[in-house]
Structure 1
């Protein structure tokens, strides 16, 4: 793990760089000058040299989309291949930071340099803000040397990019990695078809929780909307309304025509193990593939990366079942 000597700082917007507008806090450009001024004022040492790139327009992360993730990937690869950067720091808002970290974990498979994401709960310059601590802390962590892969730096902690979740909306330690059982074989190697050089395209993915009273018509309408994959948030260890024959038939029919069906647990510290209950076994028979202990963010990002690479449904299910970057196994 060599120390980062030249860092790409990729600014996408978010609270960390927001300024007051007539409608309240809003994303703002010009953040590079503010960062350099603050670095000079604090006399920050042990930081790598860095160059700045900004995705325009800067956005509130509530507006994050697949297109934004793909733009991030392009900017990151450009910084490494054209500007010889040996580390990347991505700045974005916290609302979808865990989703971005998970998506980039899979979109950047095989990338030879470390990528760290951070943001802030309060804008830079606000009294008591965590912005400069997170930003310069992440820079120092990269300068000290990190393994390749994606991580999140927040409140002094480095966390695995495909395992982290935001659990609090108003605290500096908003992000954490919950213990979730992760037992899955590790992929022997990352094939070229899904490494970071593979072009991706947007895909149609939906997420739906099971809940008491859910109807087959609800799922049929969603499956009939053109989705390529449906991520179902199941109860407990992967159960659902197994006495609803119409619902199970809707899932079976969609799976037969090539819709990828995946299951995660609604429990923050849960994992899917279909064979524990008959209700889970019936979902498996309908075509659902288990996400094991993956988070919603990781499962969604993984489906996007695999489907976006143009893989066939069976190939998607194959790679979804394997651990690609530490998301499914410790």
Structure 2
């Protein structure tokens, strides 16, 4: 955890750089000049040397897509492997910041430098904004030394990239790591086809929360859209409507066609443990694999990384239940 000699600041847009338009706050370019101007006013801070790159067009993170995740991954790999950067700071909107942190955690496995993501709840320059404290706080943390891997820096705290969730919509401490049970088999040596050098492709994925009254026809319609991976948000420890034979048949048929079916718990502090209830056992028999205590963001990012690497259904299921970067094991 040595001091940073060359930092890439990767600007993707978000509230931190937004400016007022006729329609309201909107993403804006030109943030590098604003950042350098503010740094000149903060001469007391010890900050690493940095270069700046902007992904265009700047995004409201509500518009974030898998293609944008891949663009971020490509820019980070280019900066580290070709440009000699030894740390990366990603500036990002808060709405999908936890999703991007999780996705990058799995897209950048075995990367030997720290990658921090940050943003702000109020735009830089607005009264009472948290923008500069988050941005310069992240820079200072990197200067002092941060372990390799993906983390989120927000409101003075470093948070694990594959465990964090946004829990508040209007407070500076918007992000937290919930105390979900994390247990499983950790991977001692990561295979080369999963590390950050492996290119990925976009994947048709879906997330479906179970709810009372869910109909088999609704699930069948979703599965008929060509999804390659379906993340089911189950009740409690992994239960669902196990007396709905048509729904169970739809899931089992999809699994037989090669669709990866994965389960997480809807409970904020929950985890999947199929063997506790008969309803969980019946659901598991359709082909579901357990996401343990993973968050929605982590499970979705993990499915994207594994399926996007071109792995087979069996390979995805094998690696999904194993800890790759701390998403399952403390």
Band the TM-score falls in, shorter-chain normalisation? over 0.9
Partner of 2:292: 292
Alpha-carbon shift at residue 6 of structure 1 (Å): 1.0
Per the normalisation by structure 1, the TM-score is 0.99
- Separation (CA, whole Å) in 2 of partners of 1:188 and 1:292: 19
Partner of 1:22: 22
- Separation (CA, whole Å) in 2 of partners of 1:63 and 1:69: 12
Alpha-carbon shift at residue 80 of structure 1 (Å): 1.1
Partner of 1:150: 150
What does residue range 89-108 of structure 1 map to in structure 2 within 5 Å? 89-108=89-108
Partner of 2:116: 116
Larger deviation, residues 72-81 vs 234-243: 72-81
SS in 2 for 1:48: coil
- Separation (CA, whole Å) in 2 of partners of 1:247 and 1:39: 57
- Separation (CA, whole Å) in 2 of partners of 1:197 and 1:230: 26
SS in 2 for 1:42: coil
- Separation (CA, whole Å) in 1 of partners of 2:248 and 2:170: 40
SS in 1 for 2:163: coil
Show structure 2 runs of 5+ residues with no match: none
Per the normalisation by structure 2, the TM-score is 0.99
Partner of 2:249: 249
**Number of residue pairs matched by the alignment:** 330
Alpha-carbon shift at residue 44 of structure 1 (Å): 4.2
What does residue range 69-218 of structure 1 map to in structure 2 within 5 Å? 69-218=69-218
Hey, which bits of structure 1, 4+ residues long, moved more than 4 A?
none
- Separation (CA, whole Å) in 1 of partners of 2:192 and 2:81: 18
Alpha-carbon shift at residue 226 of structure 1 (Å): 0.4
Show structure 1 runs of 5+ residues with no match: none
Alpha-carbon shift at residue 212 of structure 1 (Å): 0.3
Give CA-to-partner distance per residue, 1:256-302, whole Å, 9 cap, x none: 11000000100000000000000000111110000000000000000
What does residue range 259-298 of structure 1 map to in structure 2 within 5 Å? 259-298=259-298
Q: Does 1:7 align with 2:7?
A: yes
SS in 1 for 2:54: strand
Give CA-to-partner distance per residue, 1:225-260, whole Å, 9 cap, x none: 100000000000000000000000101110011000
- Separation (CA, whole Å) in 1 of partners of 2:66 and 2:29: 22
SS in 2 for 1:150: strand
RMSD of Structure 2 on Structure 1 (CA): 0.6
Partner of 1:320: 320
- Separation (CA, whole Å) in 1 of partners of 2:53 and 2:79: 9
Alpha-carbon shift at residue 40 of structure 1 (Å): 0.3
Give CA-to-partner distance per residue, 1:160-203, whole Å, 9 cap, x none: 00000000000000000000001100012111111100010000
